[in-house]
Amino acid sequence: MPKILVLDPGHGGEDPGAVGKTTGKMPVLLKEKDLTLKLAKVCAEKLAPYDLNVKFTREDDRYVSLYERANIANRLKADYFCSIHINAGGGTGFESYVHSTAVEKHTDELRAILHDQIMAYLKKINVKEHGQGKKAANFAVLRSTAMPAVLLECLFIDTSTDAEKLADESFLQGLANEMAYGLARVLNLV
């Protein structure tokens, strides 16, 4: 029986999430909700060859509450939950989160596999971890899921160097590829 992975593209519908733009003569407006959906869909495509059932909390531009996102994963009895986000607030780089009060060693070990896989790619293109990189927080989607769960913050949409990368299709493809391979490793598919 295939394992179940739930991909959670952050925000959606009337909730754009963080917003930013590239600099230059032809600035590109970036919305977190669009980038997270694109990353989730490309990640799922990259996971297609594996014996894995990939589900989404949303597959289009619609709003899904934080608790409904967790409920979707719980109803499916998912093996792993991955919430995809783009950060904002004037920083730069990549970070990942697990739940702050229920950091089981197993959940943290799985997060480390995914985090390190993504960072190996990002370091090659001079993207660093934000702060300590691997963090814990009391986010609703992490608190409310009944399986190991991670929340990824993929660069800062409001920092010009990060925004330029987020507007680059080849960067997004590479990031989604590493997410997919990291998730396959987390689920013992490779």
Q: What pLDDT band is residue 102 in, cutting at 50, 70 and 90?
A: low
Rounded-to-integer distance, Cα 107 and Cα 147, Å: 9
pLDDT of residue 103: 58
Give alpha helix (H) positions in 66-188: 66-76, 105-124, 140-143, 160-166, 169-186
| Active-site annotation holds for 129 | no
Rounded-to-integer distance, Cα 132 and Cα 129, Å: 7
pLDDT digits (tens, 9 = 90+) for 51-61: 999 999 999 99
CATH number at 91 reads 3.40.630.40
**Amino acid identity for residue 143 in this structure:** R
DSSP structural state of residue 12: B
**96: β partners:** 134, 152
Residue 123's contacts (CB-CB under 8 Å, 6 or more residues apart) are none
Q: Which residue has the tokens 């001079």?
A: 126
Query: Range of 9's domain?
Result: 3-186
- Look at the alpha carbons of 174, 180, 186, 190 in this order and tell me if their dihedral is positive or negative: negative
| 4: three-class secondary structure by DSSP | strand
Closest alpha carbon to 71 in 147, 127, 175: 147
Q: Please state the domain count of the chain.
A: 1
Residue 2's contacts (CB-CB under 8 Å, 6 or more residues apart) are 51, 52, 53
Q: Please report how many Cα atoms fall inside a 13 Å half-sphere around the Cα of residue 186, on the Cβ side.
A: 33
pLDDT digits (tens, 9 = 90+) for 139-182: 999 999 999 999 999 999 999 999 999 999 999 999 999 999 99
Among 45, 153, 164, 169, which one carries the catalytic annotation? 153
Question: For the CA atoms of the chain, what is the radius of gyration?
Answer: 15
